[in-house]
Amino acid sequence: MHPLITPEALADALSARPATVVLDVRWRLGGPPGRQDYEVSHVPGAVYVDLDTELSSPPGAGGRHPLPEPERLQDVLRRAGVREGGRVVAYDAGDGSVAARVWWLLRWAGFGEVAVLDGGFAAWEAAGLPVTAEVPAELGGDALGDVVVRPGQMPVLDADGAAALARDGVLLDARAAARYRGETEPVDPKAGHVPGALNAPSAGHVGADGRWLGAEELASRFAGLGVSGGGAVGAYCGSGVTASSVVLALEVAGITSAEKPAALYAGSWSNWCALDREVATGG
């Protein structure tokens, strides 16, 4: 399954087999909760999943959005109806970065048939496709999914691994340029970046219409940063969420592959700060 799917293709997939589960993961840094948007309008049949409480462990030394415990993730996915041999599509309200977290998590969990809705909920609405405020009934019994989470199927970096990759390979920082340079830091206790990391803001993966850039455009963007394939590459951001979209973008660009994906520093800058590691500033 290609990591991106158009609204039209998703509409077709909803009536096809195997069943496609749609996850609404709209979220805003600092709120209000994305569930409020979901309850007003969403893709028919979509199940809302919360980034903070269901797709992450509680914040702490591991960062603001540590990876969820495998058992917890499996429970969340089963309650959403995810089944072995099925498919999952995730969407958000922004540039696809939060939906990419779902894509990455399911790949990490050993579930390969997962994609991000290109352009998110805005693209679905712009295509004139149906929306609803009806919330699906909570699943139970035989209706529950049967997916089995097999963690560890995507490469994950800790702080030492991130430092080594920034020194010996390519570590991409997905945050906005001002945060990377240390000019501002609205969330974490320190401003700056991992020494040796390069800036590749996640917002640069999409065009003015909110759709993802094509493979050639993404490849050109990464080539401008010195990333063209063959070497070790990884990504981080503030808390490990938007960096997932860098991992996805590298695969769409053909620089990495499903067999050899980029690594993710899951704790990201929030973990780096908690460990009081060395900080670099400037461009």
Positions marked catalytic = 237
CA-based nearest residue to 143, from 87, 82, 88, 90: 82
152: alpha, beta or left, given left = phi > 0 and alpha = psi -120 to 50? left
Question: Of 99, 84, 130, 129, nearest to 22 (Cα)?
Answer: 99
User: What angle (nearest 5°) sits at the alpha carbon of residue 246, between those of residues 222 and 1?
Assistant: 105
Q: Which two tokens stand for residue 67?
A: 């990876």
Q: Are 185 and 179 in contact (CB under 8 A)?
A: yes
> Both tokens of residue 126?
């712009």
Tell me which residue has tokens 């992450």. 56
**Residues with Cβ within 8 Å of residue 282, at least 6 apart in sequence:** 181, 182
Phi, psi of 268 (to 5 degrees): 55, -155
Q: Mapping DSSP to helix (H, G, I), strand (E, B) and coil, where does residue 99 land?
A: helix
What string of DSSP letters covers 102-114?
HHHHHHHTT---E
| Residue 93 near residue 37 (C-beta atoms within 8 A) | yes
The closest alpha carbon to 180, from 157, 197, 203, belongs to 197
φ, ψ at 239 (rounded to 5°): -135, 10
